[in-house]
Structures are given as C-alpha cells and as structure tokens.
C-alpha cells in the first residue's frame, strides 16, 4: 500500500487543547493554503477564501467573540465570557474557510458550498501531511451574524469552519468509523 493511502486511512484530527507551538512556518503555511485552494470547483469560481488568525490576531478575534457573547448573554458567568475569548487561542494557528458563493446560472450554491468543504478538508490533510495536528471546528460564533460581520464576512458569506493547526502533544486515539455495510448500497 502506498504511503499516501496509508496516511489517508489513518489520519486523525487533533484537539486544539492537545496542540502547542510551533505553528507551520510561513513557507509551510503557503503550502497548506495552496493545497486548500486546489480542490474541485465547478466553473472555476473559487467560491471560498481563507482568513488566517495567528499570534495576537487570535486575541483580537477572541475579543470580538467575547464582546458579542457578553452582549447577548448579560447574565453569563465571567468564565463563559473567557471561554468565548479563548475560542481561537488554543492552537497557534487558525485558518477560517469562508464559503463565498458567486451568483451563477449553471453552478448552484450547493455545489459551491461543497467546494468550500473540500477546501477545508484539504487544509486539514495538508497540515497533517506536514506533521502538524489539525482540526476542523465550528462553534456558535461561526453562525453568529454579528461575529461574522465583525470578522469581515460579506452578507452572502458563511464560515465553512475554522481549521485549528499546531504541533500535536500526543497521539490521538482512534475514533469509531461506520462500517461500509452501513453506508454503502449497490444500485
Ligand atoms: C463543518 C464541521 C464542523 C465541525 N465542528 C466541530 C466542533 O465545533 N466541535 C467538535 O468537537 N467537532 C467538530 N467537527 C468534527 C471534527 O472536525 C472532526 O471531524 C472530529 O474531531 C473527528 O476527526 P477525524 O475524523 O478527522 O479524526 C466538525 C466537523 C465539520 C465537518
């Protein structure tokens, strides 16, 4: 079996709390983003874009997330506000995948959204192939219009997810997978 097949058969996500620095170097990040942009994309519309949160940018984004959370939950305990503030702070690098569908008479928005999902998985796969840990996560703030606006999303855009990337501190245990007989039928 080729190394690539073995890699794909055994790839596992890493929890952000089990990641530490270093983050990918600038050259490695370029490689990861380049692979993220190399996905099936009907009509070559590039219906996705990436926002990189690294270093103190994670704190600026966290301050926005915490502020929106506190406004909407004035009774929330301080610990919950702090958890919101730390949403993007565990991994040293977070890349948001923004689904950015373009009006098109032949390519439905659904296909463009699927392409954004492919892009998110390619980022996870590329980071993992370079020896980093990665995890595709969302969270309430990924769907909150105020957070979305303040992180720079246009009205038609949504987050496909946040890809947390860092150096794994330990090996992730296996996760149950569906058996093929549960998910495969033959027509
Ligand atoms: C769009 C999307 C959002 C996700 N959001 C979360 C999340 O917020 N929290 C979480 O624990 N897992 C979330 N996951 C699941 C993880 O990315 C991942 O699938 C899971 O940890 C299993 O990882 P593995 O199959 O890559 O090993 C999300 C997955 C997708 C596709």
Per-residue pLDDT, 1: 66
CB 21 within 8 A of CB 168: no
Helix (H, G, I), strand (E, B) or coil at 51: strand
Q: Any bridge partners for residue 54, and if so which?
A: 93
13 is in an annotated binding site: yes
Query: How many residues does this entry show for the chain?
Result: 187
Looking up residue 111, the CATH number of its domain turns out to be 3.40.109.10
Number of domains the chain contains: 1
Determine the structural domain holding residue 133 and report its residue range.
20-54+90-169
Place of tokens 């490689």: 31
CB-CB neighbours of 52 under 10 Å: 12
Q: Does 79 reside within a domain?
A: no
Q: Does 104 reside within a domain?
A: yes
Q: Does 65 reside within a domain?
A: no
Q: Which residues line ligand 1 (CB under 6 A)?
A: 12-13, 135-139, 161, 175
Question: Which residue is closest in CA terms to ligand 1's atom 17?
Answer: 136
Q: Which atom of ligand 1 is nearest to the CA of 172?
A: 27
How far apart CA 78 and CA 186 sit, in angstroms, is 54
Q: Does 14 reside within a domain?
A: no
The two structure tokens encoding residue 104: 């098109």
Is the C-alpha dihedral spanning 79, 160, 21, 52 positive or negative? Answer: negative
Q: Which atom of ligand 1 is nearest to the CA of 135?
A: 17
Pocket of ligand 1, candidates 65, 133, 143, 161: which has the most ligand atoms within 8 Å of its Cβ, to mutate? 161
**Tens-binned pLDDT, residue by residue, of the chain (187 aa):** 689 999 999 999 999 999 999 999 999 999 999 999 999 999 999 999 999 999 999 999 999 999 999 999 999 999 999 999 999 999 999 999 999 999 999 999 999 999 999 999 999 999 999 999 999 999 999 999 999 999 999 999 999 999 999 999 999 999 999 999 999 999 9
Q: Does 75 reside within a domain?
A: no
Q: Does 184 reside within a domain?
A: no
């Amino acid at each position: 079996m080729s190394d690539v097949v073995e890699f794909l058969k055994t790839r596992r996500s890493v929890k952000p709390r089990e990641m530490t620095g270093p983050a990918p170097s600038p050259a490695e990040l370029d490689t990861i983003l380049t692979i993220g942009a190399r996905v099936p994309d009907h009509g070559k519309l590039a219906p996705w874009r990436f926002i990189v949160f690294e270093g103190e940018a994670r704190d600026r984004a966290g301050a926005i997330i915490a502020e929106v959370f506190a406004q909407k939950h004035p009774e929330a305990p301080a610990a919950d506000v702090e958890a919101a503030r730390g949403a993007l702070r565990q991994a040293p690098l977070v890349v948001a995948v923004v689904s950015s569908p373009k009006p098109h008479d032949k390519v439905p928005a659904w296909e463009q959204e699927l392409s954004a999902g492919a892009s998110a998985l390619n980022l996870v796969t590329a980071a993992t192939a370079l020896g980093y840990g990665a995890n595709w996560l969302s969270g309430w703030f990924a769907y909150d219009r105020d957070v979305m606006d303040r992180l720079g999303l246009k009205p038609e855009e949504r987050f496909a997810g946040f890809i947390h990337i860092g150096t794994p501190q330990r090996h992730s245990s296996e996760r149950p997978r569906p058996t093929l007989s549960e998910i495969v039928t033959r027509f």
